[in-house]
């Protein structure tokens, strides 16, 4: 499939600014998530607070922009499933993983969502070219090398990796569901507002079922990290990314998912004392190279590219 004109056009200053906003916002979100976890609020409860606030803001944006909010029950069924997988379960997995790993390592695993989507597509009978599978293999090897010291020792590091994989898988399942929104002609912002609301509700159900108290920690760092996750990571970055897609196409916009793990790991190096080894460097390079292979192949074939929400 021949790329559209918008995908071939050179970047404008506005495009670069949108890229910068997206990458910086998502790079910092992993550290903010880790900070937000270090308090006496259970991860499902923090997830509930995050998307309760985010959904309220998204609804306001939809109303101000005069977007639609009324949809049929089939659309709401998809909204609810998006809420469960993208705006709740996904983040709960990563919240727990952040208690075991430095935040940058979470970002590297999540950046391979395109690889996980490829595997899900194969299970559904969707064919993919050898370049995409080669990229998937590189990504998998890179993750193994990056986490090899933890895998050898077992324990917390290994558990953290599997939690990250669980969160990424949950996101990808939700992303597959979100593609059905095209059937109902639902604008992305409207779908996201409803999805976040259902995600907050599902997080509340999980919290109540687990017996977690609905508390709020008034510590400045908890409030600050929560506001960053709501205002910057969810609303601002999502707005910038969607506008970037409109300007340069989903294929090129998706390369933001290759850049933010690098900056997230640099933040971990400075703020969390992450120590780089030659194996870690090689693993990150392989993982990100594999992601590039998958994204480039998907772009050439006109395949769907996942829209990340971090």
What residue has token string 């983040």? 91
- 157-212 per-position pLDDT tens digit: 889 999 999 999 999 898 888 877 777 778 888 999 999 999 999 999 999 999 99
DSSP states along the chain: -PPPHHHHSPPPHHHHHHHHHHHHHHHHHHHHHHHHHSSSS-HHHHHHHHHHHHHHHHHHHHHHTT------HHHHHHHHHHHHIIIIIHHHHHHHHTTTS-HHHHHHHHTTHHHHHHHHHHHTT----HHHHHHHHHHHHHHHHHTHHHHHH-THHHHHHHHHHHHHHHHHHHHHHHTTHHHHT--HHHHHHHHHHHHHHHHHHHHHHHT--------HHHHHHHHIIIIIIIIIHHHHHHHHHHHH-HHHHTTHHHHHHHHHHHHHHHHS-----HHHHHHHHHHHHHHHHHHHHHHHHT--------
Q: Domain tally for the chain?
A: 1
9 Ramachandran zone, left/alpha/beta (phi>0; psi -120 to 50): beta
> How far is residue 303's CA from residue 276's CA, in Å, rounded to a whole number?
35
Q: Which of 260, 308, 243 is nearest to 14 (CA)?
A: 243
Range of the domain at 250: 5-301
> How far is residue 34's CA from residue 76's CA, in Å, rounded to a whole number?
31
> How far is residue 269's CA from residue 234's CA, in Å, rounded to a whole number?
24
CA angle 93, 95, 100 (to 5 degrees): 95
Does residue 265 belong to any structural domain of this protein?
Answer: yes
> How far is residue 152's CA from residue 167's CA, in Å, rounded to a whole number?
22
Q: What is the pLDDT of residue 9?
A: 66
From residue 241, alpha-carbon distances to 26, 118, 139, 304 in Å are: 10, 22, 23, 15
From residue 261, alpha-carbon distances to 13, 31, 177, 180, 250 in Å are: 23, 11, 25, 28, 19
Does the pLDDT of residue 7 top 50, yes or no? no
Does residue 40 belong to any structural domain of this protein?
Answer: yes
Mean of the per-residue pLDDT values of the chain: 86
- Structure pTM? 0.86
Does residue 310 belong to any structural domain of this protein?
Answer: no
What confidence tier does 24 reach under pLDDT thresholds 50, 70, 90? very high
Does the pLDDT of residue 265 top 50, yes or no? yes
Does the pLDDT of residue 128 top 70, yes or no? no
* Class of residue 197 by CB neighbours under 10 A (exposed 0-12, middle 13-18, buried 19+): buried
- 42-68 per-position pLDDT tens digit: 999 999 999 999 999 999 999 999 999
> How far is residue 7's CA from residue 15's CA, in Å, rounded to a whole number?
12
Q: What is the pLDDT of residue 140?
A: 83
* Class of residue 8 by CB neighbours under 10 A (exposed 0-12, middle 13-18, buried 19+): exposed
Does residue 38 belong to any structural domain of this protein?
Answer: yes
What confidence tier does 308 reach under pLDDT thresholds 50, 70, 90? low
Tokens of 215: 């508390």
Does residue 306 belong to any structural domain of this protein?
Answer: no
- 228-264 per-position pLDDT tens digit: 999 999 889 888 888 888 887 766 777 777 788 889 9
Does residue 309 belong to any structural domain of this protein?
Answer: no
> How far is residue 305's CA from residue 291's CA, in Å, rounded to a whole number?
11
Does residue 169 belong to any structural domain of this protein?
Answer: yes
């Amino acid at each position: 499939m021949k790329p559209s004109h918008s995908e071939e056009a050179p970047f404008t200053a506005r495009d670069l600014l949108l890229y910068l906003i997206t990458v910086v916002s998502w790079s910092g979100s992993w550290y903010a998530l880790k900070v937000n976890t270090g308090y006496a609020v259970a991860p499902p409860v923090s997830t509930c607070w995050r998307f309760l606030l985010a959904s309220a803001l998204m609804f306001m944006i939809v109303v101000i922009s005069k977007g639609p909010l009324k949809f049929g029950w089939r659309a709401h069924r998809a909204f609810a499933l998006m809420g469960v997988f993208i705006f709740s379960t996904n983040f709960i997995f990563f919240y727990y993983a952040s208690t075991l790993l430095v935040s940058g390592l979470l970002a590297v695993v999540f950046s391979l969502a395109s690889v996980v989507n490829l595997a899900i597509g194969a299970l559904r009978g969707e064919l993919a070219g050898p370049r995409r599978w080669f990229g998937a293999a590189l990504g998998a090897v890179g993750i193994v090398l990056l986490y090899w010291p933890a895998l050898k020792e077992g324990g917390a590091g290994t558990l953290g990796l599997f939690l990250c994989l669980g969160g990424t898988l949950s996101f990808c399942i939700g992303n597959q569901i979100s593609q059905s929104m095209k059937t109902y002609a639902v604008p992305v912002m409207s779908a996201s507002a409803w999805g976040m609301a259902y995600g907050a509700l599902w997080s509340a159900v999980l919290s109540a079922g687990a017996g977690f108290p609905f508390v709020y920690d008034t510590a400045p760092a908890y409030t600050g990290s929560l506001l960053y996750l709501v205002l910057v990571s969810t609303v601002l970055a999502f707005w910038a990314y969607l506008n970037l897609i409109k300007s340069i196409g989903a294929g090129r916009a998706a390369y933001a998912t290759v850049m933010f793990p690098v900056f997230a790991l640099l933040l971990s190096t400075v703020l969390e004392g992450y120590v780089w080894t030659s194996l870690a460097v090689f693993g990150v390079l392989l993982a990100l190279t594999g992601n590039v292979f998958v994204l480039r192949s998907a772009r050439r074939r006109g395949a769907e590219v996942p829209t990340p929400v971090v």
